[in-house]
Structures are given as structure tokens and as C-alpha cells.
């Protein structure tokens, strides 16, 4: 039996079923690892709270199993971490922002309901950039998380805390959210798997909104089987979310790799706008070529493909995302919930004082920019034009994926950067998402996979992108690469 902290979700499930470990054993081991790390000079700081009742929940799971019950609960007694913008009834849900200090969720997000009804145990809240706005987890009111590979590095963002606790062996599986790359980027920087499913594949009900037409719950794990197992439970239609899709993801659990004769039938597109980008790190380019060569050696058709509209993706993304963020965050007014700063002069003054004190610098920057874009004299030139180009992108990317099974490219232009390196350079920070935003804009799924390391040891990820609802195919290719140790 492996150490309980390093075992995968699937392995822990086997240990529980065979009786060689209990859920209490697992939770205690993870809590001990977390507490020991907190005593380090530079802790990971991936968790901002380890739940006090996690062990009690584990005891209930063990009791149920002992009674011979729970056969209908595929995740019985298994732990997971939750990004701090996903609601868990009775737990703090602050989005790592001062403006939601002390706020407790009155209900469960659908993804939490599905996982817990399957027997899974949420063991803690994970750190994030405030309101999911950032690429490094440095915009958290709780302070930054650190990369388990090198604690001077960022784990990425905005779901950096979730990635850090998975990569740092403090939990085998975690939930994140993604608006423009916030699952795949941290997965790449930390050397783990990060899935951004098809838009609507996992319900957004109970997830605090950033950009409603882009937001999607995503999954982190250290192996492909764990991603598939999580998706098989979390995915599917939800009457509380009209954007959710009617699809059965149960077949995504425990997928088999492609056989050699199946590989020869695959076709993969390599977008030259990314694979030949000027800012592409040399180590990233070398690893990309390794994968391209492996695909070719297996008889897979691999073609460079130009999709010119991809060059507009990052600009288009920020116009749309910031406009939607400005609208969504208008609800934080100091009247209904969260922080309230009342100068005693009237509602306008209360609103202004609360938001000035409650939001951090980056969130304010994005709200101001979004409102500016939506202003009467600019909305037609910026926002409406961005929506038109987005429709064109979705059509052109869709056309490529009708001819090819996958799009394959690096997840990010560079490996993880040092904490503090880009925090005062918003443009450099935004460009971290250069290769990821087209996926969100097109509503398609993508999985960041560990691709290897740079010469200095920093992890590098590649992403497998597929057509809508092709998560099964994506996971099978990832499983093949994992099995072949490419």
C-alpha cells in the first residue's frame, strides 16, 4: 500500500473497498501533512481552511461502509478540496476577498451536492485570486500560495491553491473554476492534470460568477483516472443551471488507452499561432516537439494548422470577461451581504465606501475597465465587436475540430514565473493566458497534462483540446500518453 498522501483517488478507493485503510486514516494523514507543511518557513498556503468536521464526516463514511451500505456511492469516504468561490452550506465562501469576509454559504453548489451524495468528503477551502481574477494566486486577501516544486514560484491562478494542494500531496483531487485558463494554467505550472470541461458540463449553480458566458468548474488530479472519476460524478444536466448540458459522463471513469490501431486513425491539429509564437519558451518548444514526434511515430496524422482568429483571442477574452465581471460584481454593494462600510451619508456613499474598502486592486481595475467597455460610446465598438469575433472563432475552431480529433499545443508560453515577478505588470500577467482563452471562448473542453520539465526543473504542461462533449476522447489520449510515459 502506498503512503496515503501520495496515493491517487482511485488507489484510495481500492484501499477503502479492501479494508486496508479507513476514511479516517486518510483524512488524518492529509491533515497531518497540511499541519506539518504549515510549520515550514514557506508553507504552500494552498489551503486557507482545513475543515474541522472533515474527520467526523470520515467517521460517518466508515460507519456506513462497516454496515455494508454505500454501494451506490462511488466516492464514499474519499477527500477533495474546494476552491473558495464554490458554495458549501454553512462554510465560509469569501472568494478570497475582504468584501466577503465572514460570509457563509446558505446552500450547496450543485457540484458539491453531487460529490457529497456520491460519498466524497470536502476537507478544506483552497486559496485563489480574488474573485478568480488573476494568474498567480497573488491577488488573494489571504496572501499567495506557493508552488510545491519550488516555493519561490507561483502555482498559477486563479485556482492556484487547488493545484498546490494536489501537487503538494495534501489532497488527491480538487475543484477549481476556469474563466480563461484558471485550471489549466496552474495544472501546467504545478505538473499535474487540469480539466476544463465543455461549457455547461458541470453546473455553475452555487459558483460565484466572474464571467457567466465563460465560467466553468474544473478538476485537478495527479492522474488521468482521477479526473475521469471526478467528472463521471460531477458532470451532467442541472435544473438549477439553464446553461448545463444534458449528457451522461459516467463513461468517463476508468477509460482505456488507445490501442495502436486506433492511434493510427487519429488526426491532430497543431495551431501555428501558438506553436510558433514569438514568446514561446525554448524548453516549452522542445517538449512540444517531443510530443509531435511521438504522435508521428505512432502513425497519427499531425498537421500544422493556421487559425488566424486565435491571435485575437486574448484581447477578445478580456473585453468580454471584464464586461461580464463588472455586471456580476455589481451585486456586492454592502447592503445584502458581506462587508458594509457606512459613512452615514446615504446609499450612494455606502456603496462607494464598501466597494472601495472591500475590493482589491486587481478586481477594481477589472471592474473599472469592464464598465468603461460597456459605456454607451464604446459598447458597440468593443463589446459587440468582441461578441461578433467570438462567434467567428467558435465557428472556425469548430470547423478544425470537425476535420481533426484534437488540437494540441502548449498550455502556457512559459513555465511558472517567480512570485512578485508580474504582480505589478498587469499586461504580462494577462498574457499568461495567451494559449488558453480560445477554449473558453469556444465553449469546448481541454485537458492540461504534465509534459515534462524545463532544464531548471520547472514543470511544463501541454493541452489536449477537443470538440464539445469530447471529454472521453481527450481522457483516452491523455491515458495513452500517461501509460506510454511520453
Domain ranges for the chain, please list them: 9-253, 260-314+380-444+460-477
- Do the beta carbons of residue 194 and residue 183 sit within 8 Å? yes
Domains 9-253 and 260-314+380-444+460-477 share a fold: yes
Q: What is the pTM of this model?
A: 0.97
- Residue 189 belongs to what H/E stretch? helix 184-190
Query: In a structure prediction context, what are the per-residue pLDDT tens digits for the chain, which is 486 residues long?
Result: 889 999 999 999 999 999 999 999 999 999 999 999 999 999 999 999 999 999 999 999 999 999 999 999 999 999 999 999 999 999 999 999 999 999 999 999 999 999 999 999 999 999 999 999 999 999 999 999 999 999 999 999 999 999 999 999 999 999 999 999 999 999 999 999 999 999 999 999 999 999 999 999 999 999 999 999 999 999 999 999 999 999 999 999 999 999 999 999 999 999 999 999 988 999 999 999 999 999 999 999 999 999 999 999 999 999 999 999 999 999 999 988 889 998 888 889 999 999 999 999 999 999 999 999 998 777 678 899 999 999 999 999 999 999 999 999 999 999 999 999 999 898 899 999 999 999 999 999 999 999 999 999 999 999 999 999 999 999 999 999 999 988
Distances 382 to 370, 371, 397, 441 between C-alpha atoms, Å: 10, 12, 22, 16
CB neighbour list of residue 342: distance below 8 Å, 6 or more residues apart? 334, 350, 353, 354
As a three-state string, the secondary structure of 97-143 is CHHHCCCECCCCCHHHHHHHHCCCEEEEEECCCHHHCCCCCCCCCCC
- Do the beta carbons of residue 430 and residue 321 sit within 8 Å? no
Give the per-residue pLDDT at 1: 83
The runs of H, that is alpha helices, within 329-447 are 347-358, 361-374, 385-403, 426-430, 437-442
Catalytic residues: 83, 158, 182
Rounded Cα–Cα distance for residues 338 and 166 (Å): 30
Domain 9-253 listed as CATH 3.90.1300.10: yes
Return the CA Rg of the chain. 22
CB neighbour list of residue 52: distance below 8 Å, 6 or more residues apart? none
DSSP state of 251: G
- Do the beta carbons of residue 185 and residue 177 sit within 8 Å? no
Q: Report the CATH fold assignment for 260-314+380-444+460-477.
A: Amidase signature (AS) enzymes (3.90.1300)
Rounded Cα–Cα distance for residues 272 and 144 (Å): 34
Give the per-residue pLDDT at 343: 87
Amino acid at each position: 500500500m502506498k503512503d496515503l498522501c501520495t496515493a491517487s483517488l482511485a488507489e484510495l478507493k481500492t484501499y477503502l473497498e479492501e479494508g486496508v485503510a479507513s476514511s479516517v486514516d486518510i483524512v488524518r494523514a492529509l491533515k497531518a501533512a497540511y499541519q506539518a507543511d504549515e510549520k515550514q518557513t514557506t508553507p504552500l498556503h494552498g489551503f486557507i481552511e482545513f475543515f474541522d468536521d472533515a474527520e467526523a464526516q470520515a467517521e460517518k463514511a466508515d460507519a456506513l461502509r462497516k454496515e455494508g451500505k454505500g454501494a451506490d456511492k462511488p466516492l464514499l469516504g474519499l477527500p477533495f478540496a474546494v476552491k473558495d468561490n464554490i458554495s458549501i452550506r454553512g462554510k465560509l465562501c469569501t472568494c478570497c476577498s475582504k468584501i466577503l469576509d465572514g460570509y457563509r454559504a446558505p446552500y450547496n453548489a450543485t457540484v458539491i451536492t453531487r460529490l457529497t451524495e456520491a460519498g466524497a468528503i470536502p476537507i478544506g477551502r483552497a486559496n485563489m485570486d480574488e474573485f478568480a481574477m488573476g494568474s498567480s494566486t497573488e491577488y488573494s486577501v489571504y496572501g499567495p500560495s506557493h508552488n510545491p516544486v519550488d516555493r519561490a514560484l507561483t502555482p498559477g491562478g486563479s485556482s492556484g491553491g487547488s493545484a498546490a494542494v494536489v501537487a503538494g500531496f495534501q489532497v488527491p483531487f480538487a475543484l477549481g473554476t476556469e474563466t480563461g485558463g484558471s485550471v489549466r494554467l496552474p495544472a501546467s505550472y504545478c505538473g499535474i492534470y487540469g480539466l476544463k470541461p465543455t461549457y455547461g458540463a458541470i453546473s455553475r449553480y452555487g459558483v460565484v460568477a466572474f464571467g457567466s458566458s465563460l465560467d466553468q468548474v474544473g478538476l485537478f488530479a495527479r492522474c488521468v483516472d482521477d479526473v475521469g472519476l471526478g467528472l463521471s460524478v460531477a458532470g451532467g444536466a442541472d435544473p438549477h443551471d439553464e446553461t448545463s448540458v444534458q449528457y451522461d459522463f459516467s463513461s468517463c471513469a476508468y477509460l482505456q488507452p488507445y490501442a495502436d490501431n486506433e492511434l493510427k486513425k487519429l488526426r491532430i491539429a497543431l495551431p501555428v499561432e501558438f506553436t510558433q509564437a514569438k514568446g514561446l519558451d525554448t524548453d516549452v518548444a522542445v517538449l512540444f516537439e517531443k510530443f509531435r514526434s511521438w504522435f508521428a511515430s505512432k502513425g497519427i496524422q499531425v498537421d500544422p494548422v493556421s487559425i488566424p482568429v486565435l491571435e485575437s483571442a486574448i484581447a477578445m477574452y478580456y473585453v468580454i470577461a471584464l464586461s461580464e465581471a463588472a455586471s456580476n460584481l455589481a451585486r456586492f454593494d454592502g447592503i445584502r451581504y458581506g462587508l458594509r462600510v457606512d459613512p452615514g451619508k446615504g446609499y450612494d456613499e455606502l456603496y462607494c465606501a464598501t466597494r472601495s474598502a472591500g475590493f482589491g486592486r486587481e478586481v477594481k481595475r477589472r471592474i473599472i475597465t469592464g464598465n468603461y467597455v460597456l459605456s454607451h460610446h464604446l459598447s458597440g465598438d468593443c463589446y459587440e465587436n468582441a461578441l461578433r469575433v467570438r462567434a467567428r472563432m467558435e465557428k472556425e475552431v469548430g470547423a478544425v475540430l470537425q476535420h481533426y480529433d484534437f488540437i494540441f499545443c502548449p498550455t502556457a508560453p512559459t513555465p511558472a514565473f517567480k512570485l512578485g515577478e508580474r504582480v505589478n505588470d498587469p499586461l504580462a500577467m494577462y498574457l499568461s493566458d495567451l494559449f488558453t482563452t480560445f477554449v473558453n471562448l469556444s465553449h469546448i473542453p481541454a485537458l492540461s497534462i504534465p509534459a515534462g520539465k524545463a532544464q531548471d526543473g520547472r514543470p511544463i504542461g501541454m493541452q489536449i483540446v477537443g470538440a464539445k462533449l469530447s471529454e472521453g476522447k481527450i481522457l483516452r489520449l491523455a491515458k495513452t500518453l500517461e501509460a506510454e510515459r511520453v
